Amino acid sequence: MNKLIKISVFTISLCCIVSCKTQHFETPEYGKNETEKVIPIRKVTNFRTVGSIKNVDGRTLKEGKLYRSAHLHKLKKKSFDDFEKLGIREIIDLRNSKEIAEKPDQLPSETIYKKYSAFEDEGDQLAQAKKLVLKGKVNASDADKRMISFYREYVTENPEMIKKMITEILESTDPILYHCTAGKDRTGITTALLLTILKFDKETIYNEYLLSNNYRKELVQKRLRLANTLHFLYPKMDLKVLEKLSWVEKRYLDAAFEEIDKKYGSADTYIQQALGISDSKRNEYIRKFTY
């Protein structure tokens, strides 16, 4: 048995040497200021609290009110106490029904769980792209366009769902955690919208967004190295696509805000008309989440 295993490993290694070409991966842009507190929760990635940053009026976002992360499918019962210590009582799941069915969150029984998917019927474009990657039917340029399109559509195609989700978060009385699959795109857009409502400037918002690259760096680099090593198994796959789907880029968030400006004229108008938040309510949220 051991001999067969050794032969199999040798065969795979030999195939890799013959078939694989080392892929050069680009260095992503990272957040410059690691202002957020990363929470070490076993089997959960990109788990952090959004806080300790100042808005345009000099008010500081309260730490421990807003939490963001990747999915909680592998959350261990041993970590339930960590949730209790953080005071998290409610989870907002931004994934679609299919994603949730495949990898449901594992949560303490008393946790309030709600889901808000902007693309519930068809599934999001990211999932569609991943299905075509292994067959080599999506190249890096295609993936980039899909990401841009995804960000544009997320903020404007289903404004009522975005409104409900944002309202749920801002009206929460206890610390709240919202997440998607990797905790970088849908979660990143959601955080950007929340910070815009709370009057944080563009530099601060984009730095917070790019921190996903900082906190997912080890995980992503490990996956890219593995994909490069095993590329001979899926020779048609463009590894640059995997790279595009692994990191966040400023251009993606630019696309979301540009679409908001295109359809509503400004972020302030979007907040009032699409999200239904009046100036007085917005100021109320600012007082609630900052000091």
User: pLDDT at position 221, please?
Assistant: 94
| Predicted local distance difference test score (pLDDT) of residue 234 | 74
Considering only residues 43 and 238, tell me which one the structure prediction assigns the higher pLDDT: 43
The answer to whether the beta carbons of residues 184 and 246 sit under 8 Å apart is no
pLDDT per residue as tens digits for the range 191-214: 999 999 999 999 999 999 999 999
Q: Extract the tokens encoding 77.
A: 């019962």
- What mean pLDDT comes out for the span 218-223? 94
Percentage of the chain lying above the pLDDT 70 cut = 88
For 79-113, letters b (16+ CB in 10 Å) and e give bbebbeebebbbbbbbbbeebbeeeebbbeeebee
Distance of CA 21 to the CA centre of its chain: 30
Per mean pLDDT, which range of 34-38, 132-136, 143-147, 244-248 is the poorest? 132-136
| Residue 236 in this model has a pLDDT that exceeds 90 | no
pLDDT band at 143 (very low <50, low <70, confident <90, very high): confident
Question: Per-residue confidence at 132, pLDDT binned at 50, 70, 90?
Answer: confident
Lowest mean pLDDT among 3-7, 34-38, 70-74, 153-157: 3-7
Sheet arrangement for strand 66-69: 37-38, 48-50, 66-69, 176-179, 90-93, 112-115
DSSP 18-66: HH--PPPPPPPP--S---SEEP--TT--S-EEE-S-B-TTSPBBPTTSE
Reading the block at residue 59, the tokens are: 């008010």
Identify residue 49 by its one-letter amino acid code: T
For range 35-63, the mean pLDDT: 93
What is the chain's mean pLDDT, rounded?
A: 88
- In this prediction, residues 211-232 reach a mean pLDDT of 91
Mean pLDDT is lowest, of 20-29, 92-101, 111-120, 154-163, for 20-29
Alpha-carbon distance of 284 to 291, in angstroms, equals 12
**Which pLDDT score is estimated for 20?**
47
